[in-house]
A = this chain, B = another copy of it.
Amino acid sequence: MRVSFQQLKDEIKRVFIKYGVPEEKAEICARIHTESTYDGIYSHGVNRVSRFADYLQRGWVDPNADPVIEKDCGAIKVINGNLGPGIVNALFAADQAMKMADQYGIGMVGIRNTTHWMRGGTYGKYVAEKGYVGIMWTNTEQCMPPWGAKEGRLGNNPYVMACPGVDGGPVMLLDMAMSQYAYGKLQVTRLAGKKLPFPGGFDKDGNVTDDPGAIEESRRIMPMGYWKGSSFAFMLDILGSILADGVGAVDLNAETKGSCGGCSQVMIVIDPKKTMDGEKMNETIRRAIDYVKGAEPAEHSSGVHVPGEGCIRFHKEHDEQGIYVDDTVWKDILAL
């Protein structure tokens, strides 16, 4: 079905308040879930509302906990998220990092003991829309076998890079997890009776496969770029732990604290005005975009895109027809 931004946000906020989130935090969380949905990232927007409510009910997220700055040293801060709502903690951290970037040109915040931040791109977008460059990641509980193994020991850690758009236009935003496909994508593809566009994992006998059901069964999802994504995921895990004074996959157990319950996040924020003049930056980004998008399209290409461009088509559709929400998801939310 289709709903308005306001309608969606109000309904999500109602649910969060009902499950014990104080009004101010419920407003923030509902807004972020709604914005992600508006951007077309349904999986981490409206489709995660029920799960967040479930986590609140189980006590895996403490709605009343506030983030606390534990270490404050030059251009670095470490924040204890106290298992409070991940969105609130991450926005607090991003604000701190921007303040340090104002003062020192660059600032880093490590957030330990926090909970799921939903869409990683939210925070890249948040700082880039204010004129900053952001490099951010989170570690997660294990859900992916390291390259050469059949047993999940790596998190599907999302990694984010963001920078301002041209003349305040849409920001340049990379937001990618370390697996080639998420389990959500496997499910959607299987339900549609389709194969994956490219191999996405191994079946239970260790054969590379594009059959989503076989991967769901084996739990042997594949890192993007094979050994490259495996190594990248490992680095994000340990650097997340170290730079946030927190823990990583080995200590995160989704069955006792939910996905990302107690995880570590890192946000590095840079003020690019300290390195490049604003007009020159505009021109640099514009030329890079034109260059890449001007490449001759491949056979059967659906277009050449730059990172962050994907949401534009959703904005258009959602502005014209209202924001899309899956009927079942909407019914579940109304019933909460």
Contact = CB atoms under 8 A, between A and B. Distances in A.
Contacts of A154: 292
A231 to B, nearest CB: 4
A172 B237 CA distance: 12
B206 A299 contact: yes
A52 interface: no
A58 interface: no
Contacts of A302: 148
A243 B224 CA distance: 27
Given A229-B224, A285-B242, A235 B298 contact: no
Interface stretch (A25-33, A43-51, A71-79): A71-79
A149 interface: yes
A103 interface: yes
Interface in A286-329: 287-288, 291-292, 294-307
State the oligomeric state as a number of copies: 2
A180 interface: yes
A219 to B, nearest CB: 12
Interface residues of A, number: 87
Which of A245, A292, A300, A304 has its CB near the most chain B CB atoms (within 10 A)?
A292
Contacts of A294: 153
A136 to B, nearest CB: 12
A202 B225 CA distance: 16
A238 B306 CA distance: 11
Given A225-B224, A234-B307, A291-B250, A71 B243 contact: no
A150 B295 contact: yes
Given A146-B304, A224-B229, A275-B71, A296 B151 contact: yes
Interface stretch (A5-13, A86-94, A106-114): A106-114
B105 A299 contact: no
Contacts of A107: 106
B174 A232 contact: yes
Contacts of A108: 105-106, 270
B242 A272 contact: yes
Given A74-B75, A174-B231, A307-B234, A149 B301 contact: yes
Contacts of A105: 73-76, 108
A163 B241 CA distance: 12
A267 B298 CA distance: 34
